[in-house]
């Protein structure tokens, strides 16, 4: 059971009990007072949201892109402690992968994407928070004080950039306003579940400067029994803070700055034996622990020149994570090898300690047509840099993990430069054409340093330095037709791309062999769909059919005979469709 209580701006206190995992509770509706006054009916508001799926404000049902906008009550229902997983359950053809490790932002859309990342930027679905891409090793976005989440299906490399071959998740935070507001909410439940959240907003200089703060703390003691250590695995503890300022020196200029800090600690197990007695149960010793913390600083400037809108996005992020894990769950590896479970139960015999630090810098400049223009367009430049350090110390007595043992000190640097543009042009009558292109140049370097710990079959030490450059194009083209103001159909062809690079975890160096760069993955996606608002705009009904053709898809696969991971590049295809309906 969980009990929720909240203190909104009007001071009313609501309390209600519900079953987990529903952790957002609405206050009971107040009884209406009778009145003889006649009130004119309010015209129905469109159920479709305003989105920025093409880097400019547009009504969702007018955008020839398959997008699901999660807003309002639906967004409030997303579970605060595991937002990515709950978000995936709210969006068709969107799958979130939780590996029980440091890869917090790993997803696939319509079957496009990896099960496990090869490197920090090896992902086919990129999470964006306020126009800034998040690392696959970064903290999962906690949706604290969020205005909306847009899940864009299909390649988004034209406007969202690198590695969005399967799609993008665009998270938009709430901005400060010139109104005073305050809310305090809390929830308590079984298994140590607790949540507290505070949001405050106030004008600092009337109609010129406003500030907003949002804070959250969440705890859950876990619900997966550990048969070796006792207690439960899958515990989580989350803390988050964001402070933001809105500065409006004129009606045409808006400046926003935000600074945020997040901390996320969990004991999610990496292994669970399906079909084990009393499933789910864990059998690791020591308990898997992943501790992450992140900082994010974002500056956005927007100026309306009249015939053109100027946007600038400057962002810096720093993420640190540390994981301690037992490489061999006794139940899982006893099943894999046929050896007794006790063979894998020695505390610390198969132990990995992995630390990852990552710094990223982003600068994007854009020019766009004003909203409502007959010819709508966006163009810009993007500069992106990331520096990653991976340090690990792994000891194992299990022969299958010989190449995983040793001390590693690996570092990676990526510099990316891109120019992009997309335009929508009226052709004949209600027929419109869409054309977009992005040209990207990337430079990458890697430095591997390995020190052996005496494991049989491994070398005492190894060093290797690598670099590569890549130039590539992504884009999309298509047609859309407005059958009526509330009904539109579209067809598009898009080029997807996931950059090549260097594996973060060196598995060849312990054998005295060089690491091998992995190749870039390319794809073509063909899509047709419709969007409509029916019943006087109270019902939104959309649908799409798609076909994906992917070459050299990156995949980390688990080889059962050797009980080890290896990198594979696979060609594959996926096809299907989706239908969505929602009403106001």
Q: pLDDT digit string (tens) for 180-194?
A: 999 999 999 999 999
Q: Per-residue pLDDT for 303 more than 80?
A: yes
Give domain 66-583's CATH superfamily: TonB-dependent receptor, beta-barrel domain (2.40.170.20)
What confidence score (pLDDT) does residue 4 get?
43
Q: What is the mean pLDDT of residues 553-574?
A: 73
Paired tokens of 419: 């120019």
Mean pLDDT (the chain, rounded): 87
Report CA 119 to chain centroid distance, whole Å.
16
Dist CA 192 CA 109 (whole Å):
33
User: From CA 392, how far away is CA 404, in angstroms rounded?
Assistant: 10
Q: What is the pLDDT of residue 283?
A: 93
How much of the chain is helix, strand and coil, in % rounded to 5? Answer: 5, 55, 40
Of the pLDDT bands very low, low, confident and very high (cuts 50, 70, 90), residue 444 is very high
What is the tens place of the pLDDT at every residue in 82-115?
A: 677 788 888 999 988 777 677 778 888 999 987 7
Q: Residue 278 has which token pair?
A: 């009393």
Range name among 165-169, 428-432, 501-505 with the lowest pLDDT average: 501-505
pLDDT at 30: 35
Q: Residue 259, SS3?
A: strand
Residue 522 and residue 432 in contact, taking contact as beta carbons nearer than 8 Å? no
pLDDT value for 45? 52
What's phi and psi for 227, nearest 5 deg?
A: -75, -10
HSE-CB of 235 using CA atoms within 13 angstroms: 18
Number of other CB atoms surrounding residue 579 within 10 Å: 11
Lowest mean pLDDT among 99-113, 287-301, 371-385, 521-535: 99-113
Give the model's pLDDT for residue 563. 52
Taking the chain, what is the end-to-end CA distance rounded to the nearest angstrom?
30
Report the C-alpha gap between 379 and 307 in whole angstroms.
14
Longest Cα–Cα distance of the chain, Å, equals 89
Position 347 confidence tier, pLDDT thresholds 50, 70, 90: confident
Tell me: pLDDT of 364 over 80: yes
**Residue for token pair 């945020």:** 260
> What is the number of other CB atoms lying within 10 angstroms of the CB of residue 299?
16
DSSP 501: B
Question: Which pLDDT score, from 0 to 100, does residue 38 have?
Answer: 36
pLDDT at 104: 78
Give the Cα separation of 215 and 209 in Å (integer): 21
Q: What is the pLDDT of residues 508-534, one digit of tens each?
A: 899 899 998 989 999 999 999 999 999
- Nearest CA-CA partner of 564 in 452, 402, 454: 402
Q: What pLDDT score was predicted for residue 79?
A: 67
For the cut 90, the answer to whether the pLDDT of residue 419 exceeds it is yes
Band of pLDDT at residue 346, cut at 50, 70 and 90: confident
HSE-CB at 463 with a 13 A cutoff on CA atoms is 0
CA distance 109 to 167: 6
So what's the pLDDT on residue 495? 97
Of 582 and 476, more confident = 476
199 vs 583, residue with greater confidence: 199
């Amino acid at each position: 059971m969980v009990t929720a209580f909240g203190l909104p701006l009007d001071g009313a206190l609501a309390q209600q009990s519900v079953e987990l995992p529903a952790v957002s509770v609405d206050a009971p509706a107040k009884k209406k007072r009778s009145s003889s006054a006649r009130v004119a009916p309010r015209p129905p508001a469109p159920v479709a949201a305003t989105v920025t799926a093409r880097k400019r404000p547009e009504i969702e049902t007018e955008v020839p892109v398959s997008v699901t906008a999660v807003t309002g009550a639906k967004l409030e229902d997303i579970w605060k402690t595991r937002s990515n997983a709950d978000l995936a359950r709210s969006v068709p053809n969107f799958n979130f992968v939780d590996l029980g490790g440091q890869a917090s932002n790993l997803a696939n859309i319509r079957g496009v994407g990896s099960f496990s990342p090869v490197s920090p930027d090896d992902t086919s679905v990129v999470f964006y928070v306020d126009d800034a891409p998040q690392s696959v090793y970064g903290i999962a976005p906690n949706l604290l004080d969020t205005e909306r989440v847009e899940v864009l299906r299909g390649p988004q490399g034209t406007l969202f950039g690198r590695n969005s071959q399967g799609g993008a998740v665009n998270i938009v935070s709430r901005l400060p306003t010139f109104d005073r507001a305050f809310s305090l909410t809390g929830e308590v439940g079984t298994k140590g579940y607790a949540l507290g959240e505070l949001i405050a907003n106030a004008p600092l200089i009337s109609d010129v400067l406003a500030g907003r703060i949002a804070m959250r703390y969440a705890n859950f003691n876990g619900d997966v029994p550990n048969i070796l250590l006792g207690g439960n695995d899958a515990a989580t503890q989350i803390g988050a803070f964001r402070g933001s300022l809105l500065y409006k020196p004129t009606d045409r200029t808006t400046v926003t700055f935000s600074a945020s800090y997040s901390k996320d600690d969990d004991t999610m197990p990496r292994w669970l034996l399906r079909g084990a007695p009393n499933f789910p149960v864990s059998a690791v010793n020591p308990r898997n622990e992943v501790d992450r913390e992140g900082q994010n600083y974002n500056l956005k400037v927007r100026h309306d020149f009249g015939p053109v809108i100027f946007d600038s996005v400057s962002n810096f992020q720093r993420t640190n994570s540390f994981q301690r894990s037992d490489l061999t769950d006794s139940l899982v590896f006893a099943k894999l090898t046929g050896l007794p479970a006790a063979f894998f139960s020695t505390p610390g015999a198969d132990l990995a300690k992995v630390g990852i630090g990552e710094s990223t810098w982003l600068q994007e400049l854009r020019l766009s047509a004003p909203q409502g223009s007959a010819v709508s367009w966006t163009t810009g430049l993007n500069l992106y840099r990331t520096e990653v350090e991976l340090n690990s110390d792994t000891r194992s007595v299990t022969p299958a993990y010989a190449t995983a043992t040793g001390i590693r000190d690996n570092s990676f640097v990526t510099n990316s430069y891109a120019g992009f543009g997309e335009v929508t042009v009226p052709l004949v009558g209600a027929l419109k054409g869409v054309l977009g292109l992005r040209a990207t140049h990337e430079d990458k370097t890697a430095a591997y340093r390995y020190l052996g710990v005496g494991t049989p079959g491994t070398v005492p030490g190894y060093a290797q330095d690598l670099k590569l450059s890549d130039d590539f194009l992504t884009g999309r083209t298509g047609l859309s037709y407005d059958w009526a103001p509330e009904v539109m159909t579209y067809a598009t062809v898009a080029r997807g791309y996931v950059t090549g690079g260097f594996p973060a975890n060196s598995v060849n160096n312990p054998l005295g062999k060089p690491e091998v760069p992995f190749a870039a993955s390319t794809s073509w996606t063909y899509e047709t769909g419709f969007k409509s608002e029916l019943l006087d705009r109270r019902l939104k009904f959309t649908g799409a059919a798609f076909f994906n053709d992917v070459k050299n898809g990156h995949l980390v696969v688990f080889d059962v005979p050797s009980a080890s991971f290896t990198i594979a590049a696979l060609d594959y295809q996926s096809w299907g469709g989706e239908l969505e309906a929602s009403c106001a």
